[in-house]
Amino acid sequence: MTAALSTTKRALDLGPAVELVSKEEGHRQPLAPEFVSAEDFSPLEVAYDFGKVRREDIEAGPKNIWRYKKLLPVPSNVEEIPNTEPGCTRLVRADRLAKALGVKRIWVKDDTGNPTHSFKDRVVAVALAAAREFGFEVLACPSTGNLANAVAAAAARAGWESVVLIPSSLERAKILTTAVYDGALIAVDGNYDDVNRLATQLAAENENWAFVNVNVRPYYSEGSKTLAFEVAEQLGWRLPEQIVVPIASGSQLTKVDKGFRELGELGLVEASPYRVFGAQATGCSPVSAAFRAGHDVVQPVKPDTIARSLAIGNPADGPYVLDTVTRTGGAIEDVSDEEVVEGIRLLARTEGIFTETAGGVTVATAKKLIETGKLDPDAETVLLITGDGLKTLDALEDRIGPRATVPPSADAVRKVLEG
């Protein structure tokens, strides 16, 4: 009896999470490191029993995403376990940007302030917390760059091994800022979609590896809800009217919507209407193309854009992005690489925020949506700025620099400034 008891696995504690449910037909199954339903082959999503969640409990929580632990699939004592503690990034009222774009009110959610300087720290922190609960000890991923940083850093902090697969063509900065954490970083000759396929194969072969965006994807993706939670809390517990979200796999966009809905359902905010807009680079715009054509499936493409963190040609959540955008009355647009660089520079010039190419996509797409009348200039709009410009300096190379190089003379400086 005693022996049997001591070998009994203790109950899984993933907080309010109770089951996995398939997105298409709603088949239910126990919480496990699985991502596709064996019943209908659709993605699995976490189902919850939230109970009562109060604003005061959240406000009394830590200044990171664990303040929302009662809304996430993570252990009850998650804040006591080593992780990167991302979140609580600033929401900046961007009046100068709003003026430049000719709209009334814009807020910039500046996720460059996370530990590895992108929103990916949020999803990885949740994936790591859930993976630990499932008994994994290796954190792995295929990545377009930011995920590589986040996984390698989180694994280092947790004392885990990491296996990170990247396309060999990735920006040098993103390679170095991953390699420094000293996990197993492997560059693969191929694009992200090749790397992703390889990861799916390796996940099947290595049962003790938690691939954050493959076998523990249902938990990982819930981390993006914290963007919605923070925006709502920072606005004084209310929802914005419009939000513009960059699309890679599409997970973030669908989960920001899920986060807003949950807040409304739990009575934490008034369930006011909001519209979700999607942003892509034209060189990798399969979801934007499907939206324009009125399709409900997404035709894969071969990416060719400087916005490499968004360069997923076969986005797993593409159809769900189309659902979300259509249901909320939003739209999806795409912008050229030239416009992406303009977007980066516009945000820097007006608000002093330096974003990576993905943020340039968001800003430039917002501009286009305003110009084409799809985004209401009188409604309050949030832009999700998801990554830091220091990681994609290549995009600006040979385009900007000093106004002049002069000898150390006041006269010479004056001459340049006079023009």
Ligand X SMILES: *Cc1c(COP(=O)(O)O)cnc(C)c1O
Which CB atom, from 75 or from 121, has the smaller least distance to ligand X?
Answer: 121
Which CB atom, from 310 or from 364, has the smaller least distance to ligand X?
Answer: 310
- What single letter denotes the amino acid at residue 394? D
Q: Provide the minimum distance between the beta carbon of 355 and ligand X in the complex, in angstroms, as a whole number.
A: 8
Give me the 351-380 binding string for ligand X, x by CB under 6 A, dash otherwise: -----x-x----------------------
Q: Provide the minimum distance between the beta carbon of 405 and ligand X in the complex, in angstroms, as a whole number.
A: 33
Choices 158-166, 246-254, 283-291, 298-306 (CB under 6 A): range interacting with ligand X: 246-254
Choices 64-72, 193-201, 250-258, 278-286 (CB under 6 A): range interacting with ligand X: 250-258
Q: Provide the minimum distance between the beta carbon of 390 and ligand X in the complex, in angstroms, as a whole number.
A: 12
- Paired tokens of 147: 């995920």
Which CB atom, from 268 or from 321, has the smaller least distance to ligand X?
Answer: 321
How many chain residues touch ligand X (CB under 6 A)?
A: 17
The single residue among 71, 170, 247, 332 that binds ligand X, judged by CB under 6 A, is: 247
Q: Starting at the edge strand that comes first in sequence, how are the strands of the sheet with 17-22 ordered? A: 28-29, 17-22, 44-48
φ/ψ (deg, to 5) at 252: -55, -45
Q: Provide the minimum distance between the beta carbon of 250 and ligand X in the complex, in angstroms, as a whole number.
A: 5
Taking the C-alpha atoms of residue 196 and residue 144, their distance in angstroms, rounded to an integer, is 10
Give me the 132-151 binding string for ligand X, x by CB under 6 A, dash otherwise: --------------x-----
Which CB atom, from 75 or from 320, has the smaller least distance to ligand X?
Answer: 320
Taking the C-alpha atoms of residue 198 and residue 163, their distance in angstroms, rounded to an integer, is 12
Q: 37 to each of 20, 22, 94, 202, 206, how far by Cα in Å?
A: 9, 6, 43, 19, 20
End-to-end CA, the chain: 88
Number of CB atoms found within 10 A of residue 268's CB: 18
Which CB atom, from 146 or from 162, has the smaller least distance to ligand X?
Answer: 146
- Paired tokens of 260: 């807003």
- Regarding 252 and contact with ligand X (CB under 6 A), the answer is yes
Task: Report which secondary-structure segment, H or E, holds 278.
Answer: strand 275-281
Enumerate the H helices of 164-299 as residue ranges: 172-179, 192-205, 217-222, 225-234, 251-265, 286-293
In Å, the largest CA–CA distance within the chain is: 90
Which residues between 87 and 126 bind ligand X (CB under 6 A)? 118-120
Quote the DSSP letter at residue 60: T
Contact 313, 300 (CB under 8 A): yes
The single residue among 43, 73, 167, 246 that binds ligand X, judged by CB under 6 A, is: 246
Residue 117's Cβ-side half-sphere holds a number of Cα atoms within 13 Å equal to 19
Choices 13-21, 23-31, 158-166, 242-250 (CB under 6 A): range interacting with ligand X: 242-250
Q: Provide the minimum distance between the beta carbon of 237 and ligand X in the complex, in angstroms, as a whole number.
A: 25
- Regarding 250 and contact with ligand X (CB under 6 A), the answer is yes
Q: Which residues bind ligand X (CB under 6 A)?
A: 118-120, 146, 246-252, 309-310, 356, 358, 386-387
